Each structure stands twice: as structure tokens, then as C-alpha cells.
Copies of this chain bind each other. A is one copy, B any other.
Amino acid sequence: MGCIQSFRQCCDRPKNTNVRISLPAVCFVWQIAMIILFGIFIRYDQQSDAHWIEYRKSQNISSDIENDFYFRYPSFQDVHVMIFVGFGFLMTFLKRYSFSAVGFNFLIAAFGLQWALLMQGWFQSLDPMDGKIKIGMESLINADFCVASCLIAYGAVLGKVSPVQLMVMTLFGITLYAVEEFIILNLIHARDAGGSMVIHTFGAYYGLSISWMLYRPNLDRSKRLNGSVYHSDVFAMIGTLFLWMFWPSFNSAITNHGDGQHRAAINTYLALASTVLTTVAISSLSQKAGKLDMVHIQNSTLAGGVAVGTAAEFMLMPYGSLIIGFCCGIISTLGYIYITPFMEKYLKIQDTCGIHNLHAMPGVIGGIVGAITAAAASEGVYGKEGLINTFDFKGDWKDMVPTRQGGHQAAGLCVALCFGVGGGIIVGCILRLPIWGDAPDDNCFDDDLYWELPEDEESIPPILEYNNHMQNRDATESDFSMEQSQN
């Protein structure tokens, strides 16, 4: 810990936020690297290659509709919307950071999904025949999932890092994700349909650890910008709703064809519905006049979807899903009220979007629920074939039994936690180097550092500034106003 402290100090030098060299360099070099690696490694899989028609006939598949595209594409598009509009707009709630929220989310997701196709491919779908990675619709969904973990981490550091730091964070995040996913799903054989452990727990602790490493003692100098305005809260609701509505697709996107996808969607739908009511209840209870807080509505209403992730394809029963949602709405909202301020004050973890309440806690709960429900699974409930099918007790794992599966689930959760915390600390160290162009403490949460902003009336802090500080205004602004007044 001492060495971390001293490392911290050595990195605290004056800030230069100009990213004109570093950002284009990172984008160009990495994109060219992607092209080269894709050229060497990535090819279409059986279902998307032009040889499909011959393959289909050789396998006696009666119709094109059995191409995996038709099983997964609608879910894929919903997940895609969650990644780009959902996560992007959820973070637009800050009054002057909407461009960065939605723009950098766009940038790192677009990079991350390419890198994820490679990393996940090397670990999971390398064809032993020709050494190539074969991609299809399921790979694309998995890449989007992988990206989600990094976007969750972005939520913790929103407003405090430069786009170059975000790119670095994504590069390492995706890499760590691919490794922990391989360990959890393949080596440990845990099931994690909606990624409560693999995506949410890992992503959230990864982001929180980075935020802890990048702790800014003087962040309150940017307090004026760390809040919402009326319209920015409405924009954020677009993100919330698209996440909420499409979460059933997220949790069912890569589950088994047939009843697996069907059941995962139903469970998620119910858990989310239940979460909304308890979130509203706690939010109203927590305020003197019973008024609701937009922060809770925007975030905690989603906690049920996170927590039901691992167990979404299990026979949770509809009431089981409701119970999970019920608890998570309460816990997540209480988190915003008590835990986030506590963490900032005592643990030195500044969590801009409150991902600890939305992803970390519900993710861990999801992992635990998964372990319990897996351990409790029985042939009576699932049917003999249903049990084998749902838990994939096939091949090397054909001797597995539900109780042992429960243990493996718990082990998987621990791995996700360790990778999140450990990886986050290491990457946090790297991001503390004073070369990345991050914002000074008094200019966090400000789009002006990285974006050409339109000169609109809203960007001029109002009335009083004008009357009291006329003399301080720079020439451009006055010219602009003059021009307007003459038209």
C-alpha cells in the first residue's frame, strides 16, 4: 500500500489535456493492428460462409431458417442498442458532459468489439484445423457483452479521464475479460447466461479499482459541473429505458435455442418489473417530502436485470424472478443513498455513475443466486434431458451434478471478483502516468476539454456573470452576442 501511495504522488503533475497526438496515434495504430490480426486470424464460420448452402444440404437441414442468424439476430440487435444507446445515453445525465458520455462510449465500444472478437476467439473458437477464428452471430453478441464490461467501468470514472485513458482501459479490460471468461465458463464450467459475474461483477470492480487508483482529493473543485440539468436527465432516461426494455434480450441472447432463450427472457422481464416498484418506494421514502430522485429511477430500476443474469436460463420460477428484482431494487437504491457517499468519503472511491449500486452489488447477488439455484436444481423440475441441456452436463462434464455445479458457480464469482479488483489496480497504476491528457481537478465533467462546443446561450453561465463580469468576457463571445442582437 505504501508503494501505491508513493506511486500516486509521483504521478500528480500538472495536466495537459491536449490529445491531438496521442488520440489519433492510438486510434490509427490500434486499428491498423486490428486489420492485420483480423487478416491473419479471422474468417467466417460455417453459418455465415458462402459454403453454407452446401453444408446445409450435407447435414440435411431442411431450411435456411435454421441458420443461427434467425435464432440470434433479433437479440443481437437489441444488445447492440443497449451497448450504444443504452450505456451511452444513461451517462448523458451530467449537464455538460453529454458529448463525452455518448461519444467516448461510442469510440471505446467500436474499438472494444474488434479486440474482443480476437481475444475471445483465441480463447474460445480457434479452429484446430486451420488455426483460424471462425466468427458468426454468437461471436458478435459475445463481443458486445465483452464491451459492456468496459462500458460499466467507464461509469465509475466518467468525467475524470481522457479518451486516451479510456482506450487503454478498454484494451486491458477486454483482455482481462477474455481470460476470466475462459476460466469461469470453460475451465470452471460455471453457467453465466446474462453475465452477472463475468460482465457485471468483473466490469464494476474493474472500474471501481481504477477509480480508487485515480482518486482525486480535490474533485469538489468541479462540483458545479457534477450534476444534471432538466433536459440532461430526460436524455438519460432514454438510456435507462432502452437498457430496461432490451435486458431480456441481453440475458437470453446466448442461451440455448428454444426454451432456454424463452425462459431467460421471461425471468428477466419479471425481475425488472419488480425492481421498478421497490426502487420507487425506497427513493420516495428517502426524501423529506417523499419526492423521487431521478438518479435512483435512472439506475436502480435496472438492478434486477443484472441480478437475474446468471440464473436467467434456470427454472427460477416467475415468483423467484420477482423476489430477486424486489431485493435488488431496495439494495441498489439504498446503495445510492448511503454507500456511494460512504465510499467516496472513507474508501476514496469516486464513483460518478454509482456502478457499485447498479452493477457490483447486483452482480454479486446474481452470482450467489446462480450458485444457490444451480445447487438446488433437480430432475423433477427440469426433466432429465432438460437438466443436462440447461447446465450443459455433456462431454467432459457429463458426470457433473447440480450440487457440485453450485460450488463451481461460487468459484466463478470469486474469479470474477479477483480479476476485477486485481486488474483494476494494475491498470489504474498505468493510467496514473501523467501522459494521458486527463482533466485537472477543477475541470472535470466538462466537455469543453475534448470537444469543439457550439457557442450557444446555454454554455454561457447566465445573467449574473454577464452583468458582473462584462469586462472579463473575451472578445469572441461579445462579438457573437452582438451579432445575434443585431439580427
- Quick one: closest B residue to A289, CB to CB? B18
CB <8 Å contact, A292 and B103: yes
CB < 8 Å neighbour of A99 from B24, B73, B294: B294
> Cα distance A31–B281 when bound, in Å?
10
> Cα distance A70–B75 when bound, in Å?
11
Shortest Cβ distance from residue A111 to the other chain B in the assembled complex, whole angstroms: 6
Q: Which residues of B have CB within 8 Å of A34?
A: 274, 322
CB <8 Å contact, A278 and B453: no
Stretch at the interface among A7-15, A253-261, A394-402: A253-261
CB <8 Å contact, B463 and A481: yes
CB <8 Å contact, B456 and A484: no
Asked if A127 is an interface residue, CB under 8 A from chain B, the answer is: no
Shortest Cβ distance from residue A462 to the other chain B in the assembled complex, whole angstroms: 4
Q: Known contacts A280-B23, A284-B19; is A234 also within 8 Å of B463 by CB?
A: no
Q: Which residues of B have CB within 8 Å of A24?
A: 280-282, 284-285, 290
Q: Known contacts A257-B64, A389-B53, A487-B461; is A48 also within 8 Å of B266 by CB?
A: yes
State which residues 124-149 of A face B: CB under 8 Å: 135-137, 140
CB <8 Å contact, A38 and B322: yes
CB <8 Å contact, A67 and B258: yes
CB < 8 Å neighbour of A315 from B44, B71, B78, B284: B44
Known: A31-B281, A52-B262, A135-B318. 14 other contacts (CB 8 A): A20-B288, A27-B277, A44-B317, A53-B258, A64-B258, A69-B261, A70-B70, A77-B245, A77-B249, A110-B301, A140-B265, A291-B451, A461-B485, A463-B466
Q: Which 6 A-B pairs have the closest CB atoms?
A: A20-B290, A50-B386, A52-B259, A64-B258, A229-B456, A110-B276
